[in-house]
């Protein structure tokens, strides 16, 4: 295995063990990917129209770009999904083994974009009807 994959395995193990610094690095590393996925899901699953409340994802995105931004009337519906994805990834990342020199980036991308993750998210959001 390559050094990158070995480093990725170490990171995955530290994240699944709950190491605070590793978890913070993991969230910073994969926030853009998760934000993108949650944005796509919000198009059809968010209950609050953007004109009524400021989406908390907009605030997070602006803060990541260095803007200090806060709105009184914000919608947390999408932020709940953002947090769910990272909880889900933390549980799943412990099974990462780097097989065939698969990087952690590829592994996380495949988890975030898989149909089974989408179904798990639907079950979390709406209950076992899905």
Q: Which has the minimum average pLDDT: 14-18, 31-35, 60-64, 96-100?
A: 60-64
pLDDT greater than 90 at residue 91: yes
- List phi, psi (to 5°) of 75: -100, 125
Q: Which residues fall within 8 angstroms of residue 60, CB to CB, at 6 or more apart?
A: 31, 35, 79, 82
C-alpha span between 103 and 5 (Å, rounded)? 6
Are the CB atoms for 47 and 77 separated by under 8 Å? yes
Q: Which has the minimum average pLDDT: 10-14, 42-46, 95-99?
A: 42-46
Q: Domain segments of the chain: what residues? A: 3-45+79-126
pLDDT digits (tens, 9 = 90+) for 68-79: 766 666 777 888
């Amino acid at each position: 295995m390559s050094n990158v994959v070995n480093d990725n395995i170490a990171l995955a193990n530290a994240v699944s063990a709950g190491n605070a610094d590793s978890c913070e690095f993991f969230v910073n590393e994969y926030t853009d990917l998760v934000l993108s996925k949650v944005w796509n899901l919000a198009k059809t699953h968010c209950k609050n129209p953007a004109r009524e409340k400021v989406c908390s994802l907009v605030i997070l995105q602006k803060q990541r770009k260095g803007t200090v931004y806060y709105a009184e009337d914000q919608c947390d519906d999408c932020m709940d999904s953002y947090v769910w994805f990272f909880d889900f990834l933390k549980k799943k990342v412990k099974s990462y083994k780097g097989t065939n020199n698969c990087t952690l980036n590829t592994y996380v991308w495949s988890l975030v974009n898989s149909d089974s993750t989408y179904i798990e998210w639907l079950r979390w959001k709406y209950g076992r009807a899905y």
